[in-house]
Amino acid sequence: MTQPLSPQRRPTLLIVGCGDVGLRVLKCLQGRWTVWALTSTAERMPALRAAGARPLWGNLDDPLTLGRLGGLADRVLHLAPPPASGSTDPRTANLLRALARGGRTSRLVYGSTTGVYGDCAGEAVDETRAVNPGTDRARRRVDAEARLRHFGRHSGCHVTILRIPGIYALDREGGDPRDRVRRGTPALQAADDVYTNHSHADDLARACLRALAVGLPQRTVNVCDDSDLRMGDYFDLVADLWDLPRPPRVSRDQARAALSPMVMSFMSESRRLRNLRMKRELGLVLGYPTVREGLAAPG
């Protein structure tokens, strides 16, 4: 069984997959923790060091490069995506084998996806709903979640799984919704539209830190804001707030002919997430309770 941190010792965190959200976590910590950041790209090391992390080279696809991870950190934030194909996540398996060799990790937080629920036909969804992945992308996350829960049960580590919907922020590369609106990417007509859910990148970073501090063992938590919008209405809001043309509305058949299978997969699942665990168990107070506040914030 892992032991609690000594109050005299500075906590040590390992971030695996230190992209945009990981960098926001580093900014929140402001040097109060010792933070290692695993990267498989040597060119990223200067940026990670400048952000306050100690870069560590390693590749989740190559277990032989992960030998230093065991016993390195008290807490682990796992934000690395699975491979791009297949229905399992060998990267998470390799990481957990490396961590098991040290036996030091007391808390592990994993950034999963709400895609594990599959299409819920617009119903309200909390964490008690059974997973029903409709794509291999989601099946890889289900596999990772199962591996992590098994690791937690057998190691004594408190594993908290954060199920995350669409991450956005005006200053997030690839996450600025204005880019899609400017491209004129169509949205579904009202009769075909789906409910979508959102998490501002800054709120997600703070949720990660709350989970690292107080997350319950082997627990899943939806991390999303309080918005209740269909996807087309969301992009209409983006357009209106920034004085951009609203996206054209098309039928599902027209969208299928114009958009990639990846985009269509997101437009084929409808659910309205509930976030009571996030508020009650993690104690997170949202900085951006709805997308309106998040979109209006300076980017």
Instruction: Report the C-alpha gap between 224 and 112 in whole angstroms.
Output: 12
pLDDT digits (tens, 9 = 90+) for 86-95: 999 999 999 9
Q: Are the CB atoms for 290 and 278 separated by under 8 Å?
A: no
User: Dihedral angle at the C-alpha atoms of 92, 95, 97, 101, nearest 10 degrees?
Assistant: -160
The CA distance from 183 to 175, in Å, is 14
- Distance of alpha carbon 198 from alpha carbon 112, whole angstroms: 14
Pick from 166, 168, 117: nearest CA to 141: 117
Cα angle value 202/239/294 (rounded, 5°): 15
Question: What pLDDT does 216 receive?
Answer: 96
CA atoms within 13 A on the CB side of 33: 22
Q: What is the pTM of this model?
A: 0.94
Q: What is the pLDDT of residues 69-92, one digit of tens each?
A: 999 999 999 999 999 999 999 999
The confidence score (pLDDT) of residue 7 equals 47
- At residue 77, the pLDDT reads 98
Contacts of 82 (CB under 8 A, 6+ apart): 88, 89, 91, 92, 137, 140, 141, 143, 144
What counts of helices (H) and strands (E) characterise the chain? 11, 15
Please give the pLDDT value at position 297.
Answer: 78
- Residues of the chain below pLDDT 50: 1-7
Q: How far apart are CA 37 and CA 144, in angstroms?
A: 20
pLDDT score of 5: 44
What does the pLDDT read at residue 298? 67
Please give the pLDDT value at position 4. 47
Structure tokens at 219: 């627990």
Cβ-count burial 115-137 (b if 16+ within 10 Å, e if not):
bbbbebeeeebebebebebebeb
With b for 16 or more beta-carbon neighbours within 10 A and e for fewer, the 222-241 pattern comes to bbbbebebbbbbbbbbbbee
Three-class SS state of 158: strand
Residue 3: per-residue pLDDT: 45
